[in-house]
Structure 1
Amino acid sequence: MKTRFLIAALICMVLACSENKMSSVEVASPDTDIKVSFNVNSLGSPYYGVEFKNKVVIDTSYLGFEFTDASAIDKNLEIVRATATKFDETWQMPWGEQIDVRNKFNQLTVELQETSELKRKLNVVFRVYDDGIGFRYEFPEQGGWTEALIKEENTEFNLTQDYKTFWIPGDWDIYEHLYSETKFSEIDAISKRDHPNLAQTYIPNNAVNTPTTLVGNEGLHLSFHEAALIDYSDMTLGVDNDNLKFKSILVGSENTEYKVKRNLPFDTPWRTIQISEDAPGLIESNLIVNLNEPNKIGDVSWFKPMKYTGVWWEMHLGKSSWDYGMEQVDGKWVDTGKAHGRHGATTENVKRFIDFSAENNIGGVLVEGWNTGWERWIGFPDREGVFDFVTPYPDYDLDEVTAYAKSKGVEIIMHHETSAATETYTKQMDTAYALMEKYGMHAVKSGYVGKILPDGEYHHGQYMVNHYNNAVEKAAKYRVAVNAHEPIKATGLRRTYPNAISREGLRGQEFNAWSIEIGNPPSHLPTVAFTRMLAGPIDFTPGIFNIKFNEYKEESQVNTTLAQQLALYVVIYSPVQMAADLVEHYEANPEPLQFIKDVGVDWEKSIVLNGAVGDYVTIARKERETGNWFVGGITDENSVTLEIDFEFLDENQMYEAILYKDGDNAHWDNNPLDIKIEAMAITNQTKLKVKLAEGGGFALSLKEKN
């Protein structure tokens, strides 16, 4: 009733606005806790503000655009009309963290027009949910203006306090930086310019990439991101340290003065602010997916969420290599008899992974390094035309491997490393996806390591946004699901294109294999859960059992306990979860392997039981179809004791539970393999205290007891 009154009152303001041209308009969330106001000042400059429970969260923040071929739209505007609507639906995820998703919001559409000579029109649309807001710009069809060449979008987020901020630099090429935890006023992205591994890093501004998460003095949590990134440039957030303000900075190109080129009419992506009184509320929010359009590709039952193994980790350890040892002669790869004998993707090696997967309830095997071109895949300026996405190396029999996998009930996951040579991949996409369709492969891991070709483009500019999204759309026609690495950010498009199953877009597990200096610290994943994971599924590749891997690289290690590696299957969400370690390391540890065999990947319901950004988090998930529950908890470099309340379980039901927790002497560095495994009975009345060691965690499986 209260919400209906607000909408009715707003309609009255709309009428007044149409007559007076200057009245402020506002819209509230369905529960009325969040309120957005909009107006133009005496100069005709549009601005908005956000309140949460009657306290200002976003103060007066101005909006506008700069163009390369026209004057800016940032003043001389008047409100022509404002329209309020409300919406409420429940839609279902074909795969995901839950089945049913409530999409309930109140919307305000504000139509603006210039009072100056050009009379250009611009709309701003706000959708206000109980868990945050999204707003976007609409450029309607209008006489005399058919094309927008956007030099910069100037969207402000004016904060009201010096928040504790969790951020990575506003890099135009990668998201593979460690998160920093500083006050907002102390953000210095430029000092993080030098990346220890990837040469294509480019950070031109003191800006941050999104999602960026902020924690206030009284516990208010905000996270800034974007949704529905289509045919536009990635948004970074420029930092005004002195005035505590974010301002959008779009990723550009060295080849054009504009950053975005669009024909009218068009809509921008949604600019989003998730708002929660605690950290768990951020993870449980569905704001990002809800701001995307419904499924456009129809039935996706051909894709099955799965665990997978693969020829990957052994290459990072140096046990084997991606390349075979061929030579390129007259543009073709030729076996000249100089094979080095260390190639990983051989028929026999892949069959070994297939056997292991079939025996351990693991549905797929990822094969990297199967195709010609790896000898010249990175660091070469003439990478275009190098990779062939249909021709295997001589020691990899594609027919034999796929037939053997099918006989074992295991699916081969294709791998397409493009080396960022985008024109080569674009030309071969149809042929490559058709090959997958022929062999019944329904998932591909794509990669874009290196500096983007053509020269002058960046991974996160409009050119590459379109490339990545076009690949997903084309793949759907061949019933192929895409797991993109070195990607654009996830912005909820998995709702519109459910074959966009997962992506990297963060500092992954492989950094631990390269050296201790650039490995991920224990605080990394408890931060990722409240930052990067808010954008969407993460292909992080957990499950490393040989934490120290001294047999290959004494100078490197994984900076967690073994128990935390198990917990990651629940905490870090993806519908494809890799058991990333070597077969022999799993075979030597059958007891902890049991959790990987049991744990689900597709969920009916997810509940965040506790958490603090950068410190610790515990998540419980109920598996679809089986009804089994799994719980995972992880912490940073500090030990913590957590009490788990199982009130989320069904009443009057006993569960057989197996707890995998840190041993009494466990420590991520000193004693990472110390693990204790206990069987117990649990009901919804149970309360369980679990101690997590430094850099540790716990994993728990619960099955109904008849």
Structure 2
Amino acid sequence: MKSTIALIAVLLVSLSSTGQELNSPNSDLTMSFELLTDGTPTYTLHYKNKEVIAQSKLGLELVNESMSLRNGFKVSNIETNSFDETWTPVWGEQAEIRNHYNELAITLEQPEKDRHIIIRFRLYNEGLGLRYEFPQQDNLVYFVIKEEHTEFAMTGDHTAFWIPGDYDSQEYDYTTSKLSEISIRFDEALTGNASQEQFAKTGVQTSLMMKTKDGLYLNLHEAALKEYSLMNLNLDESSMIFKSWLTPDAVGNKGYMQAPAVSPWRTIIVSDDATDILASNMTLNLNEPNQLEDTSWIKPIKYMGVWWEMITGKSSWNYTDELPSVKLGETDYLKTKPNGKHAANTDNVKRYIDFASKHGFDALLVEGWNEGWEDWFGKSKDYVFDFVTPYPDFDVELIQEYAASKNIEMMMHHETSGAVRNYERHLDTAYQFMNTYGYTSVKSGYVGDIIPRGEHHYGQWAINHFLYAVKKAADYKIMVNAHEAVRPTGLRRTYPNLIGNESARGTEFQAFGGSNPNHVTILPFTRLIGGPMDYTPGIFEMDISKLNPDNNSHVNATIANQLALYVTMYSPLQMAADLPENYNRFLDVFQFIKDVALDWDESHYLEAEPGEYITVARKAKGENNWFVGNVNGVTPRSTQLKLDFLEKGKTYEAIIYADAKDAHYKTNPQAYKISKKKVTYQSTLKLNSAPGGGFAISIMEH
């Protein structure tokens, strides 16, 4: 990757001062630091002279410490710095990313304890990052965090787009409410899941999106989460102050630290334009640069999968229904009767390979190929899968040879069922197996409670595992798409083989009762702030009962909306999730999924309002072709789409995939229209979006 760095010399500031200010490069944002009379560090944040974060306390409480790291501080050193670089991501929404900030690092000393910490602030044009740093020293070496006490003091009763604070799951629909209504509406925001634990009815998760009554947009999140516990937020309703709430371990502790060490960055993105929130690269920029010397093997993937037919209940992951329990190495599947519904069989997989190859896809995911699925869920069972032993009806070698002959790569599936220790015991063998059979990417899953018992998906122990699996995968040149893992915080900059995550309510929930039709107008403001999501879009048959008569779920989207997701829900890993037979019914609109790019030179966020609509235009990497996507909430609306992002002097052909006049996500989701038009940078398109609908446009140079 290339980068250019402009580094301005460190400036030492008066050590006697307890109050300091830091301005963003464009001066729109001002952060103020102050010590209270008891030595408690605080900060405030202003945007264009408006206070957006009122005075908020900082600090940490340690186990078995009377004073901890909360107060009693004196400023012993102040350093400022300005930084400006341009770096090239391995893959992403832009060919180049600018990393430009002003920095303030304040060393705080506790004279009574003879120890010190550093609080580092980085102020970008779009927001603030802050973190705690623990330098090496005699009196702060090994320590245990009881709680982090970072505050975000709100300046009013903002509108928030939130999901319940949880130690294990982000798979919720979003609730839109005033901050004061969170506790009132908390119970109705809950939905069941395989593993979840809420901590308070005032708790919410990051990335938290908010809008003030005077039209400012605020986003609270974290960046570079590693060797630490995930941060939730807990609202003090009397003061309207959000306080950090770390995920505990099995005995209630929230972090085991060894200096020198740092916390993740706590981030606040601010703008008076919602599109600026979507365009922000601050979370990425707060992560360390790429640590992999060779990235030539990392590439975006458009794939299909033997998956949706199991999700809907049409087919099964299980090979047989005869086994009440399974012990790997002891259970003989050849002595059982196949259930006739097992989808991961050689003939069915070859059928998918044929379709994927015919339509130019890169890869095929197959779930349920390996022994153990009859006895995998909810048993608190450690040794569930070995990740290398196929069922009798899945011929690994034949499938690999057949796929290679069709120019299709196979994508591995590793479901751990939360048995993290078991997965780590098998990782090297599993990755070697992938290398042997040509699997270059893996979809890993962590459904269910974490084993060892009592640990959480978002605690420090599991956070360490998720990164361990990614770094180990890099040793074998394997790309990782982790489901049910921690939500991303920009680590894909440092480890670009982390090509995708789920960590939110994805398309599968459309077959589990449905998701709110405006769900996809909120996710880019929340979950995607930290990194791309393997949302698995592209469903064309919305009535799930047509696949499984026992499942009355409905996909709450129009076909045009499903197409638009390939642009609005950015990911270098995009799935065409429906069955081949459903795509064969709609080959004219399926063409957009075939055409749409995966990697981009430019991204332009044209219009946006969380919960209501998003319109995005992206320019394909190395080409002069553009793709536009719009997703709409529940209110029908019109868009005057200016194409002034196109190159001047060029003529393009636009293929427009739009909702038909009578389209509706519930009553008429498959109503669409396709039109073609010659366009230039001066063109404006008037387009309508149905409830739960949208539009998708491919714009090819003519």
TM-score, structure 1 length as denominator? Answer: 0.95
Cα separation, 2, equivalents of 1:168 and 1:637: 19
State whether residues 193 and 202 of structure 1, in contact with CA within 8 Å, keep that contact through their aligned partners in structure 2: no
Cα separation, 2, equivalents of 1:185 and 1:694: 29
1:3 corresponding residue in structure 2: none
State whether residues 567 and 632 of structure 1, in contact with CA within 8 Å, keep that contact through their aligned partners in structure 2: yes
Cα separation, 2, equivalents of 1:245 and 1:100: 37
Cα separation, 2, equivalents of 1:520 and 1:193: 14
- Find out whether 1:663 has 2:660 as its counterpart: yes
Gaps of 5+ in 2: 1-7
State whether residues 38 and 49 of structure 1, in contact with CA within 8 Å, keep that contact through their aligned partners in structure 2: yes
Letter of the 1:363 counterpart: D
State whether residues 53 and 154 of structure 2, in contact with CA within 8 Å, keep that contact through their aligned partners in structure 1: yes
Tell me the secondary structure at the aligned position of residue 332 of structure 1: coil
Superposition pairs of residues 393-412 of structure 1, within 5 angstroms: 393-412=391-410
Letter of the 1:285 counterpart: S
What is the Cα-based RMSD across aligned positions, in Å?
A: 1.5
Cα separation, 2, equivalents of 1:330 and 1:98: 46
Letter of the 1:106 counterpart: N
State whether residues 470 and 498 of structure 2, in contact with CA within 8 Å, keep that contact through their aligned partners in structure 1: yes
Cα separation, 2, equivalents of 1:514 and 1:251: 28
Task: Quote the offset at 1:385 in angstroms.
Answer: 1.1
2:311 corresponding residue in structure 1: 316
- Find out whether 1:132 has 2:130 as its counterpart: no
- Find out whether 1:686 has 2:683 as its counterpart: yes
Cα separation, 2, equivalents of 1:41 and 1:403: 69
State whether residues 653 and 704 of structure 1, in contact with CA within 8 Å, keep that contact through their aligned partners in structure 2: yes
1:641 corresponding residue in structure 2: 638
Cα separation, 1, equivalents of 2:401 and 2:424: 28
Letter of the 1:438 counterpart: T
> 1:560-582 CA deviation, whole Å, 9 max, x = no partner?
11110111111101111110000
1:154 corresponding residue in structure 2: 149
> 1:32-60 CA deviation, whole Å, 9 max, x = no partner?
11111112111111111111112211111
> 1:57-91 CA deviation, whole Å, 9 max, x = no partner?
11111111111122321111000010001111000
State whether residues 167 and 198 of structure 2, in contact with CA within 8 Å, keep that contact through their aligned partners in structure 1: yes
1:214 corresponding residue in structure 2: 210
State whether residues 190 and 203 of structure 1, in contact with CA within 8 Å, keep that contact through their aligned partners in structure 2: no
State whether residues 209 and 217 of structure 2, in contact with CA within 8 Å, keep that contact through their aligned partners in structure 1: yes
State whether residues 209 and 237 of structure 1, in contact with CA within 8 Å, keep that contact through their aligned partners in structure 2: yes
Tell me the secondary structure at the aligned position of residue 358 of structure 1: helix
- Find out whether 1:623 has 2:620 as its counterpart: yes
State whether residues 170 and 189 of structure 1, in contact with CA within 8 Å, keep that contact through their aligned partners in structure 2: no
1:268 corresponding residue in structure 2: 263
Cα separation, 2, equivalents of 1:225 and 1:428: 33
Letter of the 2:636 counterpart: S
1:342 corresponding residue in structure 2: 341
Tell me the secondary structure at the aligned position of residue 405 of structure 1: helix
1:184 corresponding residue in structure 2: 179
- Find out whether 1:97 has 2:93 as its counterpart: yes
Tell me the secondary structure at the aligned position of residue 252 of structure 1: coil
Letter of the 2:481 counterpart: N
- Find out whether 1:234 has 2:230 as its counterpart: yes
2:163 corresponding residue in structure 1: 168
Cα separation, 1, equivalents of 2:697 and 2:22: 43
Cα separation, 1, equivalents of 2:140 and 2:81: 28
> 1:614-648 CA deviation, whole Å, 9 max, x = no partner?
00010001111233100000111110101111000
Cα separation, 2, equivalents of 1:229 and 1:321: 36
Letter of the 2:103 counterpart: Q
> 1:582-621 CA deviation, whole Å, 9 max, x = no partner?
0100111110111111111111111101010100010001
Cα separation, 2, equivalents of 1:333 and 1:627: 56
With 489-498 and 64-73 compared, the bigger mean Cα shift is at 64-73
State whether residues 333 and 372 of structure 1, in contact with CA within 8 Å, keep that contact through their aligned partners in structure 2: no
- Find out whether 1:431 has 2:442 as its counterpart: no
Letter of the 1:79 counterpart: V
State whether residues 185 and 242 of structure 1, in contact with CA within 8 Å, keep that contact through their aligned partners in structure 2: no
Task: Quote the offset at 1:190 in angstroms.
Answer: 8.1
Cα separation, 2, equivalents of 1:54 and 1:172: 37
Cα separation, 2, equivalents of 1:458 and 1:589: 43
Which residue, 52, 61, 67 being the options, matches 2:62? Answer: 67
Letter of the 1:107 counterpart: E
2:377 corresponding residue in structure 1: 378
State whether residues 163 and 183 of structure 1, in contact with CA within 8 Å, keep that contact through their aligned partners in structure 2: yes
State whether residues 172 and 191 of structure 2, in contact with CA within 8 Å, keep that contact through their aligned partners in structure 1: no
Task: Quote the offset at 1:549 in angstroms.
Answer: 3.1
Cα separation, 2, equivalents of 1:474 and 1:193: 41
> 1:284-328 CA deviation, whole Å, 9 max, x = no partner?
000000000000012222122121111100001222100111743
Tell me the secondary structure at the aligned position of residue 25 of structure 1: strand
Cα separation, 2, equivalents of 1:352 and 1:192: 45
Which residue, 536, 541, 555 being the options, matches 1:541? Answer: 536
Cα separation, 2, equivalents of 1:290 and 1:194: 33
1:357 corresponding residue in structure 2: 356
Task: Quote the offset at 1:530 in angstroms.
Answer: 1.4
Q: 1:334 to 1:211 in 2, by over 3 A?
A: same
1:4 corresponding residue in structure 2: none
1:556 corresponding residue in structure 2: 553
Cα separation, 2, equivalents of 1:690 and 1:534: 27
Which residue, 470, 473, 480 being the options, matches 1:472? Answer: 470
Task: Quote the offset at 1:144 in angstroms.
Answer: 2.6
1:251 corresponding residue in structure 2: 247
State whether residues 189 and 207 of structure 1, in contact with CA within 8 Å, keep that contact through their aligned partners in structure 2: no
Cα separation, 2, equivalents of 1:703 and 1:285: 27
Cα separation, 1, equivalents of 2:499 and 2:311: 24
State whether residues 186 and 241 of structure 1, in contact with CA within 8 Å, keep that contact through their aligned partners in structure 2: no
Cα separation, 2, equivalents of 1:134 and 1:104: 12
Identity between Structure 1 and Structure 2 (%): 45
Cα separation, 2, equivalents of 1:635 and 1:486: 27
State whether residues 290 and 494 of structure 2, in contact with CA within 8 Å, keep that contact through their aligned partners in structure 1: yes
Cα separation, 1, equivalents of 2:331 and 2:292: 37
Cα separation, 1, equivalents of 2:584 and 2:480: 30
Task: Quote the offset at 1:189 in angstroms.
Answer: 8.1
Say how many residue pairs are matched: 687
Tell me the secondary structure at the aligned position of residue 130 of structure 2: strand
Task: Quote the offset at 1:217 in angstroms.
Answer: 1.5
Which residue, 511, 514, 522 being the options, matches 2:512? Answer: 514
Cα separation, 2, equivalents of 1:329 and 1:235: 38
With 238-247 and 477-486 compared, the bigger mean Cα shift is at 238-247
Tell me the secondary structure at the aligned position of residue 698 of structure 1: strand
Letter of the 2:295 counterpart: V
1:461 corresponding residue in structure 2: 459
- Find out whether 1:48 has 2:47 as its counterpart: no
State whether residues 411 and 441 of structure 1, in contact with CA within 8 Å, keep that contact through their aligned partners in structure 2: yes
2:5 corresponding residue in structure 1: none
State whether residues 193 and 203 of structure 1, in contact with CA within 8 Å, keep that contact through their aligned partners in structure 2: no
Task: Quote the offset at 1:337 in angstroms.
Answer: 2.6
- Find out whether 1:224 has 2:223 as its counterpart: no
Which residue, 286, 293, 304 being the options, matches 2:281? Answer: 286
State whether residues 194 and 201 of structure 1, in contact with CA within 8 Å, keep that contact through their aligned partners in structure 2: no
Task: Quote the offset at 1:334 in angstroms.
Answer: 1.4
Letter of the 2:673 counterpart: K
Letter of the 1:429 counterpart: L
Superposition pairs of residues 672-683 of structure 1, within 5 angstroms: 672-683=669-680
Tell me the secondary structure at the aligned position of residue 668 of structure 1: coil
> 1:195-230 CA deviation, whole Å, 9 max, x = no partner?
543142100122111000111112111100000001
State whether residues 350 and 399 of structure 2, in contact with CA within 8 Å, keep that contact through their aligned partners in structure 1: yes
Tell me the secondary structure at the aligned position of residue 226 of structure 2: coil
1:491 corresponding residue in structure 2: 489
Cα separation, 2, equivalents of 1:176 and 1:292: 25
Q: 1:258 to 1:197 in 2, by over 3 A?
A: closer
- Find out whether 1:698 has 2:674 as its counterpart: no
